[in-house]
A and B are shown apart, each in its own frame.
Chain A
Amino acid sequence: MVMNIAKFYLLEQWRNKWTVIGNIMAPMIFLVFALVMKSTIDDKATADLIIKSQFLPFSILILIFSLALSLNVLLLSEKKEDGTFLLLKRTDLKLNSYFMGVALGIFVIFNFFLIFFMGCYELIVDIDLASMFTIWLFSNVTLLCLYPASYVLASFFKKSKKVVAFLTPITLLLMFSITMPSMLAMTQGQNPQMYYKFLFWNPMMIMNDITLFELDMITSTWLPTYQYLLVLIGLCAVLWFAALKTFRIADANERV
């Protein structure tokens, strides 16, 4: 059943491809900039540094954010709004199977684009296979960690139109709290990890730190890898618990 749900989900996303394309637009623009920069700037070492320290990590972070959070929050709030879940409740389909099928579909789309972007960046700047594998692995763990957050967020929105307005500050909070301080610290010759104690709650920080380390932009990660994995698993458990507590397939007191 889960596989069938994933199949139908992928079919819907394939036909609704402009929504998916919209979600990968930001990493695509960064990729194009990286390509242009590498081909036009004479100082290749500086170009490599910018691509590795900014463009590539940001592309991965925004891809995780777009597919784990924004795409799914929109989908969930739309389905709540149009009564899909109430209809599904009348079938023999367990809603958990439905959500797992959707998650599987998201993982397929995510990995397709992640491998595409990493492959492209590998052609622009040299990245060894072991590093690519570690980044791929942590990207998937981070996606798994953030996925339940989409249910927590969707529980606050009755209308899908409101989701779009709220996604911007959430993007700023999750993404720019990592990338901006990191960039400013690096340009000042400081270690970006000096801010990390304030950002332990943000799984994107872990992803960013691991990526910078694997790309030789920093000499060590803030915490050892196994501790990062434990933190991600812990955050994932907390978010799943919150999702189970907060997410409802419909508002029982909504006016009809």
Chain B
Amino acid sequence: MELNVKKLSKRYGEKQVLQDVSLSFKSGSTYLILGKNGAGKSTFINILAGNIKSDEGLIVLLDDGDSLELQANAIFQYQSFSSFRFLKVKEIIAFFTMTTKNAQEDRKLYELLSLDRIQNQLIENLSGGERKAVSLYLTFLLNKKVVVLDEPFAELDIEKKYLLERHLKEKIASQNLLAIIISHEISGYQQLFTDVVILDEGRVVEAGQTQDLLDKYKNSPFQGLEGVFYSLTGKYIEVS
């Protein structure tokens, strides 16, 4: 499966948020979209998810040369889950399992996100981190081939972050998913991202395999992907 984005542009009033963004994404890979706040990351993934429309450009999802409908094959994880506030976590999961033919429960992810501990709590009473966990679980429950995650590690504790990174890496590889992730938390998670796209002021300034970029910008004053980002933009990435 291949997702091709061609010359995507988006403007809000006078501000050009995305300009001529062209990228190609492939199954089995995990793409990190890296950029400062306001670089156009959220707009980009919201366009991919079909939540907002682009002004110009084309998005094509191909599977063995056949064009597929992106919306039917993609799932977008919201930063926080606040729907159905007066249902319990287990009822929400039952609801989405009931309404999705190919729903795929993942017991390991369920326990890793500690949903067993909060399953009898109403969404209304959950903390930000717990809502994030529900949102993340539902994203994979809906079992789509293209998965777009928005800050999946934010608000999780260190142990969970580590376990989640390992589980996601395994899951994406074993299910041959195409994963696109926005994250400010990159220190320690470089192993998860096979590829990196660096966005700055609505433009793609660099895209390539993580190791290639690390080799290419090894003389940066900062280590890892923070160093790659600094070399390309002259800016520091905000690390949560």
Contact = CB atoms under 8 A, between A and B. Distances in A.
A184 interface: no
Interface in B61-120: 71, 74-76, 78, 82-87, 91, 95-96, 98-101
A252 B51 CA distance: 6
B27 interface: no
Interface stretch (A55-63, A90-98, A145-153, A217-225): A90-98
B83 A84 contact: yes
Contacts of A253: 52-53
B42 interface: yes
A91 to B, nearest CB: 4
Interface residues of A, number: 26
A120 interface: no
A87 B83 contact: yes
Contact of A256 (B52, B71, B91): B52
Contacts of B52: 252-254, 256
Contacts of B86: 11-13, 15-16
A83 B83 contact: yes
A14 to B, nearest CB: 8
B183 interface: no
A250 interface: yes
A250 B12 contact: no
A11 B87 contact: yes
A108 to B, nearest CB: 16
A91 B100 contact: yes
27 contacts: A4-B98, A8-B84, A8-B87, A12-B85, A12-B87, A13-B86, A15-B86, A16-B85, A16-B86, A82-B83, A83-B51, A83-B78, A83-B83, A84-B83, A87-B83, A90-B75, A90-B76, A91-B99, A91-B100, A92-B99, A92-B100, A92-B101, A93-B99, A252-B53, A253-B52, A256-B51, A256-B52
Interface of A: 1, 4, 8, 11-13, 15-16, 79, 82-84, 86-93, 250, 252-256
